[in-house]
Amino acid sequence: MRVSTAFMHQQAINIILDQQARVNKTQQQISTGKNVLKPSDNPAASADIMSLEEAFGRSVQYQDNGERARARLGVEETALSDIANTLQRLHELSIQANNATQNDTSRAAIANEVRLVLDGLMDLANLQDPNGEYIFSGFKTQTPAYSRSGGVYTYNGDQGQRFIQIGSTRQVAMSDPGNDVFSRIKSGNGTFSTNENPANTGTGIIGPGRVVGATSFPETYAISFLTATTYEVRDSGAGLVASGNYVGGDSITFAGVEVKITGGPATGDSFTVTNSVNQDIFTTVEKLAAALETKTTSTADKSHVQNSITRELANIERALDNVLDIRSRVGARINAVEDQNNVSDGIKASVQTTLSSIQTLDLSEAVSRLNRQLITLQAAQTSFLRVQELSLFNSIR
């Protein structure tokens, strides 16, 4: 077989270039600390690396989402805490005002504070997060949640609730619509409400009552005093439900309902028991302030004021219960975010360990390999120089 000089040169150059490529690859591996530099180096390992990097990236994104949710929920939790404290203050003021020793002047002073508290509640309802979004407006985050015109309060948001993905199969709500917090609050004791007849002339005060058995609500019952010491209860169809003798402070029980009337009802006085309806917090406080501002000239007038205060006191208690319930749910979501972040931390650590086992270079082996490759490259270069000197003309004398 005839081997030309040109062929020998080309073959030697190819060998040198191949050795240089190997040296270059090893140098890159050492400088990056990675065993696999491109998919062709190890297709199977490259596929695993891509899958693991995607899993790591998802975990990072879930944690970022969790931090956003935690920040937003933190703002809401603080607002709900402030709202609960405000309602607790209103509860204290109501109890203070619901005392027969109070007069018009002292109640008016309490009313002034109540109206200031009402302004504070409106501010809390229209609270914005650090991004300038209204936290209680549902999806309508650029619109203030509540507005008022006179004594009428309007919810301007919607029922939307924003969710964010914090895990592969886990989402968490970042907000609560304002009407769930402030508006959808059952009046009275949550099942029924009690009211006095504005035309009553006695001093009877009816409490919020309680459920003691199966009730037939929605229904309206009227408690009428035939005399100062006898009463009857009739339903909305005027059917007789119960009757008896009245003793101040004793309970009147009928149709699964128990109510207590104190004071001295007069002959012809009446009270109603009706199904609870939704009443927003602002309307409750507005009615409380209006009752406190009412001028009284008789014991009957004072009794009407006390009945109004008693009624709104029960509504404040329901509002406080509702806010505390929502606050507990927000706290549960914050805990869920923290739990999921811990899960994501574990996933990231596991992925990093697996990635390291596949991708991390054995440095000592690589350095040893580089030395061998450099020796081989040097030998190839030296032999090429020797071969390059071979020529027939060198033998001519």
Q: Does 221 lie in the same domain as 166? A: no
> 4-30: per-residue pLDDT in tens?
666 666 666 666 666 665 656 666 656
**Of 244, 277, 310, at which residue does a domain stop?**
277
Confidence of residue 262 (pLDDT cuts 50, 70, 90): very high
What is the distance between the alpha carbons of residues 312 and 315, in angstroms, rounded to a whole number? 5
pLDDT tens by residue, 194-247: 999 999 999 999 999 999 987 777 789 999 999 999 999 999 999 999 999 999
Q: How many domains does the chain have?
A: 3
Average pLDDT value for residue range 297-308: 94
* Local structure of residue 203 (DSSP, 8 states): -
Judgement on whether residues 174 and 51 belong to the same structural domain of the protein: yes
Clarify whether residues 65 and 53 are in a common domain. Answer: yes
Q: Based on the domain organization, do 167 and 198 belong to the same domain?
A: no
Beta bridge partners of 251: 260
pTM listed for this prediction: 0.79
Q: What is the pLDDT of residue 205?
A: 95
Predicted local confidence at residue 391, as pLDDT: 57
Give the domain extent around 262. 187-277
Question: Does 127 lie in the same domain as 56?
Answer: yes
Comparing C-alpha atoms, which of 263, 252, 91, 271 is closest to residue 193? 271
**Last residue of some domain: 277, 311, 326?**
277
- Is residue 4 domain-shared with residue 140, that is, in the same domain? no
Please, which pLDDT band fits residue 359 given cuts at 50, 70 and 90?
A: low
Question: For position 324, what pLDDT does the model report?
Answer: 96
Looking at the fold, whether 300 and 227 belong to one and the same domain comes out as no
Q: Which pLDDT belongs to residue 57? A: 81
CB contact at 8 A, 280 and 315: no
Give the DSSP H or E segment for 38. none
Residue 133 has pLDDT above 80, yes or no: yes
